[in-house]
């Protein structure tokens, strides 16, 4: 039995007795701060749900259970919908510990006892199209190097002027319509999609088709059909690019990796699929949630408008506060290990909850408050360790570009209706996000 020993910026040891948790739905409560102030103080206490993912008290906030678990049961055993038992890791230090430890924890989901959280995992674990998200060293290191270069900080810096043009054009299209306009379908979803299509060298006439394929994700059979159509499309795209390569990621992968035999065609398809599918939803959601948080915090928004150079801090706070992707950081235990006093046995699955870690009050003062002025502090929105998001420079650049352009060009942007009319993603099995929000200016 060994204690996990990977390097971790912070670690904690407190363990308290079992506890109960407050949860209630109330549309007037808009932030976790409101929920905490108004509900926890009223002592409306229910038992912690025994099924994960937990319901969200307000659709734009992580489940309130995370707060109580961090304080009282930081390593918590819970069932998934299919009955599988998994461990939840909720504190910042412990989440780092798990994500930074490739010796005890695996990301290969094809292991028979890796508990599946959703059908998305079934698609990801398709043997033929194994993705980076489903690999351990050494295969993982080789694959990661192939893509890393394409999304490096220097490449993204070079690409920024082109990114700015894409965002400007999309904003022109938005402004040319009569408000109120649905910000999600008319702008936020198009930004990350058009940018990744451009990077991959995909012709403009195919953009709408690809957006429609990526949006189908409600039912397993529809998702599988959409996935198959996407695969067929990618195969045709590769065939075309082999004939007439351009100066884009796919062409470079064909010339530098496929032709010399460093990867085979199936591996190339997997890489393209991952880049296409990873891009859209979380960035769209962060653009919308970021706008909402800034509109809700007028003083902070006013200061940002006066001093756009604080944009880096704003983007980091949006990432911390809303996290973006909160279910993909799960792992299978490969060797017995003890975390924060709890033994996790070989073969057990755990979720290292970055959305909970990002609200850890031991690390972030007043952690449930959206505050663009908080001191710089590493957050876990992009994960940690060898699987840390490969596209983080791209994501940061996009968010920066979008917020600067919007607040320069549309200083009067506001919600057209009340915040209660925003259609948030209300399915607690999915990440926090926005489906529809009407804006005007």
Q: Which is nearer to ligand HEM, 329 or 340 (CB)?
A: 329
CB 413 within 8 A of CB 160: no
Instruction: Report the DSSP beta bridge partners of residue 339.
Output: 342
3-state secondary structure of 74: coil
430 lies in the site for ligand HEM, by CB under 6 A = no
Q: Considering the rule CB under 6 A, would residue 95 count as an interface residue with ligand HEM? A: no
State yes or no: residue 350 binds ligand HEM (CB under 6 A).
Answer: no
**214 within 8 A of 282, measured Cβ to Cβ:** no
Cβ-contact 402, 287 below 8 angstroms: yes
* Strand ranges (E), 94-206: 105-106, 181-182
Is residue 99 at the binding interface for ligand HEM, with CB under 6 A as the rule?
A: yes
Q: Which residues contact 395 (CB under 8 A, 6 or more apart)?
A: 282, 283, 286, 382, 389
How many residues make contact with ligand HEM (CB under 6 A)? 27
- Could you give the count of Cα atoms lying within 13 Å of 54 in the half-sphere of its Cβ? 31
- Judged on CB neighbours under 10 Å (0-12, 13-18, 19+), 1 is exposed
Contact letters for ligand HEM, residues 125-164 (x by CB under 6 A):
-------xx----------x--------------------
Q: What angle do CA 339, 133, 139 make, to 5 degrees?
A: 95
Contact between 311 and ligand HEM (CB under 6 A)? no
Torsion of CA 359, 99, 106, 429, to 10 degrees: 20
Grouping H, G, I as helix, E, B as strand and the rest as coil, residue 16 is coil
Site membership for ligand HEM, residue 434 (CB under 6 A): no
Q: Looking at 80, 89, 250, 274, which residue binds ligand HEM (CB under 6 A)?
A: 274
Binding mask 188-207 for ligand HEM (x = CB under 6 A): --------x-----------
By beta-carbon proximity to ligand HEM, the closer residue of 22 and 390 is: 390
The nearest distance, CB 1 to ligand HEM, in angstroms, is 25
**3-state secondary structure at position 311:** helix
- Distance in angstroms between the alpha carbons of the first and the last residue of the chain: 60
Q: Which residue's CB is nearer to ligand HEM, number 144 or number 374?
A: 144
Q: Which is nearer to ligand HEM, 74 or 278 (CB)?
A: 278
Among 381, 400, 401, 404, binds ligand HEM (CB under 6 A): 381
Task: Report if residue 282 touches ligand HEM, rule: CB under 6 A.
Answer: yes
Question: Using CB under 6 A, which of the segments 81-89, 273-281, 305-313, 412-420 binds ligand HEM?
Answer: 273-281
* Nearest distance from C-beta of residue 364 to ligand HEM, angstroms: 17
Q: Is 43 left (phi over 0), alpha (psi -120 to 50) or beta?
A: left
Q: Is 253 in the site for ligand HEM (CB under 6 A)?
A: no
Contact between 324 and ligand HEM by CB under 6 A: the answer reads yes
**Is residue 283 part of the contact set for ligand HEM (CB under 6 A)?**
yes
Nearest of 26, 9, 20, 30 to residue 369 by alpha carbon? 30
Report the residue from 383, 396, 415, 434 that binds ligand HEM according to the rule CB under 6 A.
383
Residue 254: phi, psi to the nearest 5? -65, -50
From the list 55-63, 225-233, 272-280, 415-423, the region that binds ligand HEM by CB under 6 A is 272-280
Binder to ligand HEM among 197, 382, 403, 424 (CB under 6 A)? 382
Q: Does 286 bind ligand HEM (CB under 6 A)?
A: yes
Residues within the interface to ligand HEM (CB under 6 A): 99, 107, 132-133, 144, 196, 274-275, 278-279, 282-283, 286, 324-325, 328-329, 354, 381-383, 387, 389-391, 394-395
């Amino acid at each position: 039995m060994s204690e996990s020993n990977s390097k971790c910026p912070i670690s904690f040891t407190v363990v308290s007795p079992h506890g109960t948790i407050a949860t209630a739905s109330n549309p007037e409560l808009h932030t976790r701060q409101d929920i905490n102030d108004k509900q926890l103080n009223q002592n409306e206490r229910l038992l912690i749900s025994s099924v994960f993912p937990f319901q969200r008290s307000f659709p734009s906030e992580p489940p309130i259970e995370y707060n109580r678990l961090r304080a009282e049961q930081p390593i918590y055993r819970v069932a998934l919908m299919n009955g599988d038992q998994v461990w939840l890791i909720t504190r910042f230090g412990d989440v780092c510990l798990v994500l930074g430890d490739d010796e005890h924890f695996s990301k290969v989901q094809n292991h028979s006892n890796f508990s599946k959280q959703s059908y998305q995992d079934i698609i990801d674990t398709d043997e033929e199209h194994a993705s980076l998200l489903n690999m351990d060293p050494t295969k993982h290191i080789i694959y990661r190097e192939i893509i890393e270069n394409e999304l490096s900080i220097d490449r993204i810096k070079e690409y920024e002027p082109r990114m700015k043009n894409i965002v400007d054009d999309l904003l022109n299209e938005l402004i040319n319509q009569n408000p109120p306009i649905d910000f999600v379908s008319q702008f936020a979803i198009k930004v990350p999609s058009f940018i990744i299509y451009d990077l991959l060298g995909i012709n403009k006439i195919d953009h709408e088709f690809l957006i429609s394929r990526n949006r189908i994700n409600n039912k397993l059979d529809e998702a599988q059909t959409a996935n198959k159509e996407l695969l067929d499309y990618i195969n045709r795209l590769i065939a075309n690019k082999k004939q007439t390569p351009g100066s884009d990621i796919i062409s470079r992968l064909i010339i530098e990796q496929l032709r010399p035999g460093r990867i085979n065609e199936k591996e190339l398809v997997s890489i393209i699929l991952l880049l296409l599918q990873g891009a859209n939803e979380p960035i769209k959601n962060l653009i919308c949630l970021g706008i909402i948080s800034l509109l809700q915090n007028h003083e902070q928004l006013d200061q940002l408008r006066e001093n756009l150079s604080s944009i880096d801090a704003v983007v980091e706070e949006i990432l911390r506060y809303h996290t973006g992707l909160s279910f993909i950081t799960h792992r299978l235990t490969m060797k017995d290990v003890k975390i924060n006093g709890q033994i996790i046995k070989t073969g057990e699955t755990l979720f290292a909850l970055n959305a909970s870690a990002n609200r850890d009050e031991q690390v972030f003062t007043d952690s449930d408050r959206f505050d663009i002025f908080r001191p710089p502090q590493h957050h876990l929105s992009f994960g940690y360790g060898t699987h840390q998001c490969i596209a983080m420079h791209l994501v940061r650049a996009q968010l920066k570009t979008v917020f600067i352009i919007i607040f320069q060009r549309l200083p009067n942007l506001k919600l057209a209706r009340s915040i209660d009319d925003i259609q948030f993603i209300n399915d607690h099995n999915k990440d926090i996000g926005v489906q529809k929000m009407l804006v005007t200016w």
